[in-house]
């Protein structure tokens, strides 16, 4: 679904000039799917593998474009309310941090109803927020819409998507294996949570000041720098064994995830006109989703057979290739610092 849903929703959003309404629709679909799981668990109904699989497909179908459309709305509305995308997006990171802390204390995964109920409550709150957004303002003109084939015909955009794909494959190693790697190194369980909190806190900081970075350097250059920083981080995780040093490395998450994310979103938003923004963001989400899928298939078996050091050494190799692609992109394209369409050499 991560390969299909974002691009499909993005194309619909641009073709019909829909923004808030499509975000609300995605929230409703996600809420219905989680509610069905909650009700089934609450009444002790055995859904079986088939029922759980269908529920997972429904959740993935709506949840991924829910995040996509939230990004599009934030990108389009931020300037009108005197803020930036990064300062809005940091609330997503704070939400992740808060939910991780609260869920760890309050949600008992041994109770079948606990996790789907917590997700249902969170998505219901997101739907209420989405229903409060204004509709119809700042929509791009339909006649200016550039379709999927037009975007993919741009050679620099294909190179950008390739770099995002490789970078997200490397990031998947962190998401999937970081905690397990720390446990293998003897890091106490509470400090594992501290490590994740340090990384997320640094991510929030870089998003808060991202607009200042974009004023002093091209987006494409920052993208390449961030991916190279990620490669350095994964290489260090492959060799470091000291708990204090591992914790000291966690602020690098600001670069390997936070700066990569905002640079990717900034590139698509400045490279194409507003009428194609959702389609471009959908293609970006699809490229990132493909990287995650490949990472999920690769890093688990690598970890099982050779351990975390090999996982992060491999992630560093993927990130080096991603940064090389991004540096080639920076040589090929120049995105104006403030706004406008990219100048392709």
Domains of the chain, by residue range, sit at: 5-131, 147-344
Average pLDDT (214-235) is 95
Q: Which pLDDT band holds residue 343 (cuts at 50, 70, 90)?
A: very low
Helix (H, G, I), strand (E, B) or coil at 343: strand
Residues counted in the chain = 345
SS3 category, 334: strand
pLDDT class for 345, splitting at 50, 70, 90?
very low
What pairs with residue 14 in β-bridges?
A: none
The dihedral sign for the CA sequence 293, 263, 267, 87 = positive
Q: Which residues contact 340 (CB under 8 A, 6 or more apart)?
A: 270
Average pLDDT, the chain: 90
Q: Is 139 left (phi over 0), alpha (psi -120 to 50) or beta?
A: beta
User: What CATH number should be reported for the domain whose range is 147-344?
Assistant: 1.20.1250.20
| Three-state SS annotation for 209-223 | CHHHHHHHCCHHHHH
Element counts in the chain: helices (H) and strands (E): 15, 2
The pLDDT, as a whole number, for residue 17 is 84
pLDDT at residue 278 in the model: 92
The pLDDT score that the predictor gives to residue 37 is 94
- Residue 140's pLDDT band (boundaries 50, 70, 90)? low
275-312 pLDDT, tens digit each? 899 999 999 999 999 999 999 999 999 999 999 999 99
Looking only at the bridges linking them, the beta strands covering 343-344 and 333-334 are antiparallel
Whether the pLDDT of residue 73 is over 70: the answer is: yes
Q: Are 296 and 176 in contact (CB under 8 A)?
A: yes
Q: What are the E-state strand segments in 157-197?
A: none
What is the arithmetic mean of pLDDT over 122-133?
A: 95
């Amino acid at each position: 679904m991560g390969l299909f849903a974002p691009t499909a929703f993005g194309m619909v959003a641009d073709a019909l000039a829909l923004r808030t309404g499509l975000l609300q629709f995605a929230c409703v679909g996600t809420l219905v799917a989680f509610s069905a799981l909650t009700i089934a668990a609450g009444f002790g109904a055995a859904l079986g593998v088939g029922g759980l699989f269908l529920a997972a497909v429904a959740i993935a179908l709506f949840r991924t474009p829910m995040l996509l459309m939230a990004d599009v709305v934030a990108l389009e509305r931020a300037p009108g309310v005197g803020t930036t995308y990064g300062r809005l997006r940091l609330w997503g990171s704070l939400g992740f941090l808060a939910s991780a802390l609260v869920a760890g204390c309050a949600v008992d995964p041994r109770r079948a109803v606990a996790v789907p109920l917590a997700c249902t409550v969170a998505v219901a709150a997101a739907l209420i927020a989405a229903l409060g957004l204004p509709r119809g303002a700042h929509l791009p003109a339909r006649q200016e819409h550039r379709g999927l084939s037009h975007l993919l015909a741009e050679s620099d955009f294909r190179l950008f998507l390739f770099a995002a794909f490789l970078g997200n494959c490397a990031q998947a190693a962190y998401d999937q294996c970081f905690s397990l790697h720390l446990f293998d190194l003897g890091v106490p369980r509470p400090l594992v949570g501290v490590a994740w909190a340090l990384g997320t806190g640094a991510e929030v900081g870089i998003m808060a000041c991202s607009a200042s970075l974009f004023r002093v350097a091209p987006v494409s250059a920052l993208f390449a720098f961030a991916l190279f920083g990620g490669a350095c981080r994964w290489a260090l995780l492959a060799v470091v064994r000291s708990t204090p040093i591992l914790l000291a490395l966690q602020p690098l998450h600001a670069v390997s995830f936070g700066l990569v994310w905002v640079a990717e979103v900034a590139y698509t938003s400045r490279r194409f006109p507003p009428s194609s923004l959702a389609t471009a963001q959908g293609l970006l989400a699809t490229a990132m989703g493909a990287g995650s899928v490949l990472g999920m298939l690769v890093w688990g078996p690598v970890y099982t057979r050779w351990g975390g050091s090999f996982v992060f050494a491999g992630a560093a190799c993927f990130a080096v290739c991603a940064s090389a692609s991004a540096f080639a992109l920076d040589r090929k394209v120049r995105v104006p610092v403030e706004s406008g369409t990219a100048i392709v050499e």
